[in-house]
Structures are given as structure tokens and as C-alpha cells.
Amino acid sequence: MEIRIASQLSTLGHPQRLAIFRMLMRRMPDHVPAGEISTALDIKPSTLSAYLSNLLDAGLLSQTRVGTSLRYSVNVSNVQGMLDFLLLDCCRGRPDMCSPLATAFAQGKRDMPLDRFKVLFICTGNSARSIFAETILRDMAGDRFEVYSAGTRPYSELNPLAVEVLRQKGHDVSALRAKNVQEFMQPDAPVFDFVFTVCDQAANEECPAWSGQPVSAHWGMSDPVKATGSDAERSLAFHAAYGALRNRISVFTALPMATLDRISLQKAVDTIGQMTEDQNA
């Protein structure tokens, strides 16, 4: 056991192997193609192959094949075993030695907000998908959720087709604007209970840990902004994205927040992120 833990820690001691592991943790529970990892982290395919092999040998990753593509995800059970060893064996489970977050996870507890849950949706441009999610959740359950959206590299303006779809659905768009995620990393920013990425590119990017360690999940979906074809075909892509997000958010708002511990809540939001196209339709 200790030999395996030592191998895992040694493997993660390399900066680029650690970067791969962290990216796949952010994309949980997705299975990510090797080519996407290579592009996102700017690692040569041959070098990446060696690093992935190291992480697989250490039991930190799992590999699956989809057609001709090899895809990778975090081996959750093995990683949990490593953390259990560090926090429960080495630290003997002492709260004065282990971090408050680790103790809370071990006990299955989380602090409940005194008023509304604060939620942040992130994508790259903050011009369509995250704006959809922000608007839908605010209008669907604004009495229970305080909602924001932001982009890692936001456009200066919202996408006109996204704005038109929101208007057609009866939403007020007057207060919407594109925002940089850095706006929500300032000392006076809200402390979020939930942070969701709604595009793969934003989830792949390196972001610091959020204050308060919110429940986070990846709800990746196709970018309607990249749709091609006629005006009608492009409009259809935006309507499809809106519908998919509305269905996911409907399931999210129906969760019994008050009765779920943090581990159960994390599993629930991860499951929502894995809803298929048929379920989103």
C-alpha cells in the first residue's frame, strides 16, 4: 500500500503530469480524448503519451477506447485511497492536522447558506451558453438562487442570436452583460455555493481554487456560436443549447438541497452534467 502511494505521489511530483491530473479532475466525470489534453496543455503528443502511461501505471487514471480514440479520466477509487492514506493514516484523521475541507468531506457535511444559494456559470466567451444558464436559473428559481455568469476570455458583447432567443422565450435581457471571471475572484466578490463550467475549453483552463470551496461540476455542451449554415440552422443551434440548459437546470432546481450531504450533492450535479442529447432534447 505505502509503496503504491509513494509511486502516486512521485508521479504527481512532475509539473506536467500534475497539470494533466488537475485538468482531468476539473473535467470529472468526462472521458477526455488524448488530443484534447495535448492541445489544452500544449504538450507534444509523444510526450503526452509517456505522461499518460506514467499516470496509468500509478493507478491515477483510467483509459477507455471510443472507436479509434483513447480517452482518459481520473481513477476515482484509487485517488480516494491515496487521499484516505494521507488524511486518515498519516494525519490519523486529526482535524488540527487535516484541512477543514478534507474533514468536512470525510464527515459528509457542508455549510448551508443562510439565504439563497450563490451560483456561477462559466464558459469562455460569456456570450451565449453561460448567459443562457444565468438567465434561465434566475427566472426559474430566483427566490432560491443568486445567479451570475462569466467568461475566461469574454467577448465585449453578447451574441445577438443568444439575446434574440432569450427575448423569444420571454426573458428580460436589459441587465445582461459579458463579464470576466476575474471579476468574481476579488476580495469583495460573492462566495459561491456552486460553480459550473458549461464549455470544455473553460473547464480545461487553469483557474485558482474558489473561496469557500463550492460544489463544482462540468456541464459541457456544444458551442452554438460555432454553428454554421443558414440563419435558420444557426438559430436552431442556439435554441437547442437553450433547451438543453433549461432541462439540466430544471433537474438541478428539483434537487432536495436541504437533505443531501456534500458527497451526494456532488454526485447529483455530476450526473446532471452527463445528461445525454436525448435527455436534453
98 catalytic? Reply is: no
Q: How far apart are CA 5 and CA 272, in angstroms?
A: 32
C-alpha cell at 135: 438567465
**123 carries an active-site annotation:** yes
- Residue 199: active-site member: yes
Q: Which amino acid is at 108?
A: G
Bridge partners, 52 (sequence order): none
Instruction: Answer yes or no: are the C-beta atoms of 93 and 106 closer than 8 Å.
Output: yes
Contact between 95 and 253 under an 8 Å Cβ cutoff? The reply is no
Looking at the chain, how many residues does it have?
Answer: 281
Q: Are residues 179 and 157 in contact, defined by beta-carbon separation less than 8 angstroms?
A: no
Nearest-angstrom CA–CA distance, 200 and 273: 12
Query: Which one is catalytic: 90, 91, 98, 123?
Result: 123
Q: Spot the catalytic one: 90, 91, 98, 199.
A: 199
Three-state DSSP state, 72: strand
Q: What is the DSSP letter of 109?
A: -
Enumerate the active-site residues: 123, 199, 207
